[in-house]
Chain A
Amino acid sequence: MDLALTEEQQLIVDMVRRFVREEIVPLEADLDPDADELPAEDFDRLVEMVKNMGLYGLDTPPEYGGPEIDLVTRCLIAIECGQHRAGLYAPCYYVFGGARQAQLFEATAEQQDKYLYPMLDGKKKVFFALSEPSGGSDPARAIQTRAVRDGDDWILNGTKLWISGADRADYGLLFARTGGPGRGGVTAFIVETQWEGFNVRRAVHTLRSAKYANEIELTDLRVPHENILGQEGGGFAIANDRLMRQRIPYAAECIGIAVKANEMAVEYSKIRETFGAPLSERQGIQWMLVENEIDIRAMKWLTFDAACKADRGDPFRTESAIAKLQCSELSGKVVDRSMQIHGGLGVAKDLPLERWYREIRIRRIGEGPSEVQKHVIARDIIGSGLR
């Protein structure tokens, strides 16, 4: 595998890096340390800049107006976009077009007109509701929300948990059981948040203090049959496809803060003196920096290996699971070491390290926890009969 960037990739990396350093980082000096939104005038101005760069709508397919980039380049951009305080969960404050619900690209023409295009235009916000109080890692078995056919409609009852942005969304994808136990019994529905019976019951506060998760209660929520996404009983495939596709850029996002944290640690070690010498001359500190460097290189190799295979059309399930697993784990270690090198300053809100330290912990759980990634890898190594 050749990790040398093409001329075009290098241009994109340089352009995005400059954008982050000159446009995003200076704005953070006036924002709350846990902010994940820009003032509207700054947001609109930066979106225009990104559009002029030709990079708006990063996760939108070219046929729907997104840029023509491969997954390796997408990962390179993710690494750059993450190198600021809010960069892990709000890379560049979403001025590159924010997250998309990729499944809607597979919706029917009528569904696309009603739900996909308003989302792409930024006029409507969307949520994704898979997890429930009974679990999220094993949706085929954990989903207990029931959908029962009633004429041309379905009646949904149940509870969804750990759902991001449901309280601000206009509609979303919601998975419910329409059949028996297992994968074939799960169906994806497009539901609108203003419908009677859709209730956001509470905000679930977490380590990620910039954003909360929601708990949703569905009480006799009536959903038209035409709002099924894909086939009845085909919900699991839709959910699984999303999780697998997103694992690689998700892994790359973890690398961005690690790169920045290590860069800060290296600089600080050169200027901070203890007992008459800079920290950088202490072997204990040097070894921490060496471990950071090795971890960052390992993360990049594993992520680009997965992205290259996906770009070539080769199977990449194991590779994406390894990348997600290692990036979420190793990035946390890099941030932790960098915090240690900074001493008291490392845990203060003056620096972004404390925010990264909290938020990176969630990455070991979100989008499939480390143990589930290991399960995926083991299944591929040992055989699919593993349960």
Chain B
Amino acid sequence: MAVRLDKSWIPLNDENVAKLAAHLGVYQLANDDGEILYIGMAGARSLFGLKGELKTALEEPPAGVTQFRIEVNMSYRTRRLELLQTYMHDHGELPAANTDIDANSIGRLRPG
């Protein structure tokens, strides 16, 4: 499994969210340029999993968000942390809309 999520971006709209299943997993939100603005997860307490989380993102999108991509993954907690650590390594800070997590608490990863 690649450390970085490299799937194609999908426009965040009703039609595409409706196609999603209620799996557990992680997702990323981005602007038109593909710049990641938020890294989230659909955990077991998420009603309707990824579909539910992306529906919420569609209804209340963080500023600038127009696209998304997902990864179905039962290890949603550790996978999300890995994606956050990798983003920190690449950019020196967390995605702009990830104000829900303390940058000092996520640890350090230096992927090759």
Residue among B1, B77, B107, B108 making CB contact with A210, cutoff 8 Å? B77
Complex alpha-carbon distance, A33 and B77, angstroms: 10
**Residues 198-241 of A at the B interface (beta carbon under 8 Å):** 199-203, 205-206, 209-212, 217
- Closest chain-B Cβ to A191's Cβ sits at a distance in Å of 14
Of the stretches B10-18, B58-66, B79-87, the one at the interface is: B79-87
Type the 1/0 row for A356-377, where 1 means its CB is closer than 8 Å to any CB of B: 0000000000000000000000
Complex alpha-carbon distance, A221 and B106, angstroms: 23
Q: Does A167 sit at the interface, judged by CB under 8 A? A: yes
Question: Would you give 22 A-B contacts (Cβ < 8 Å), ordered by A?
Answer: A32-B43, A33-B43, A33-B44, A34-B77, A167-B108, A168-B106, A168-B107, A199-B110, A200-B107, A200-B108, A200-B109, A201-B109, A201-B110, A202-B111, A203-B82, A203-B85, A205-B75, A205-B78, A205-B79, A209-B78, A212-B75, A217-B112
- Tell me the nearest residue of chain A to B78, going by C-beta: A212
Q: How many residues of A contact B (CB 8 A)?
A: 20
Given the complex, which residues of A lie within 8 Å of B107, measured CB to CB?
A: 167-168, 200
Given the complex, which residues of A lie within 8 Å of B1, measured CB to CB?
A: 205
Given A32-B45, A200-B108, A201-B111: A209 and B82 within 8 A (CB)?
no
- Closest chain-B Cβ to A202's Cβ sits at a distance in Å of 6
Given the complex, which residues of A lie within 8 Å of B75, measured CB to CB?
A: 205-206, 209, 212
Residue among A32, A33, A168, A202 making CB contact with B3, cutoff 8 Å? A202
Residue among B76, B78, B85, B106 making CB contact with A211, cutoff 8 Å? B78
Q: How many residues of B contact A (CB 8 A)?
A: 22
Given the complex, which residues of A lie within 8 Å of B45, measured CB to CB?
A: 32-33
The reply to whether A209 and B111 contact each other, CB–CB distance below 8 Å, is no
The reply to whether A203 and B108 contact each other, CB–CB distance below 8 Å, is no
Q: Does A193 sit at the interface, judged by CB under 8 A? A: yes
Main SS at interface, chain A: loop
Given the complex, which residues of B lie within 8 Å of A206, measured CB to CB?
A: 75
Report B's interface with A, CB cutoff 8 A. 1, 3, 43-45, 74-79, 81-82, 85, 105-112
The reply to whether A200 and B110 contact each other, CB–CB distance below 8 Å, is yes
- Tell me the nearest residue of chain B to A216, going by C-beta: B110
The reply to whether B108 and A193 contact each other, CB–CB distance below 8 Å, is yes
Complex alpha-carbon distance, A32 and B40, angstroms: 14
Q: Does A99 sit at the interface, judged by CB under 8 A? A: no
- Closest chain-B Cβ to A113's Cβ sits at a distance in Å of 24
The reply to whether A167 and B109 contact each other, CB–CB distance below 8 Å, is yes
Complex alpha-carbon distance, A33 and B43, angstroms: 8
Given the complex, which residues of B lie within 8 Å of A270, measured CB to CB?
A: none
The reply to whether A203 and B110 contact each other, CB–CB distance below 8 Å, is no
Report A's interface with B, CB cutoff 8 A. 32-35, 167-168, 193, 199-203, 205-206, 209-212, 217, 349
Extra contacts, 19 of them, besides A34-B44, A202-B82, A205-B78 (Cβ < 8 A), are A33-B43, A167-B108, A168-B105, A168-B106, A199-B110, A200-B107, A200-B109, A201-B109, A202-B3, A202-B109, A203-B82, A203-B85, A205-B1, A205-B82, A206-B75, A209-B75, A209-B76, A209-B77, A212-B81
- Closest chain-B Cβ to A311's Cβ sits at a distance in Å of 38
Given the complex, which residues of B lie within 8 Å of A209, measured CB to CB?
A: 74-78
Residue among B44, B76, B81, B112 making CB contact with A203, cutoff 8 Å? B81
Given the complex, which residues of A lie within 8 Å of B81, measured CB to CB?
A: 203, 212
- Closest chain-B Cβ to A347's Cβ sits at a distance in Å of 12
Complex alpha-carbon distance, A183 and B75, angstroms: 37
Given the complex, which residues of A lie within 8 Å of B106, measured CB to CB?
A: 168
- Tell me the nearest residue of chain B to A36, going by C-beta: B77
Complex alpha-carbon distance, A201 and B44, angstroms: 28
- Tell me the nearest residue of chain B to A349, going by C-beta: B44
- Closest chain-A Cβ to B66's Cβ sits at a distance in Å of 28
Given the complex, which residues of A lie within 8 Å of B76, measured CB to CB?
A: 34, 209
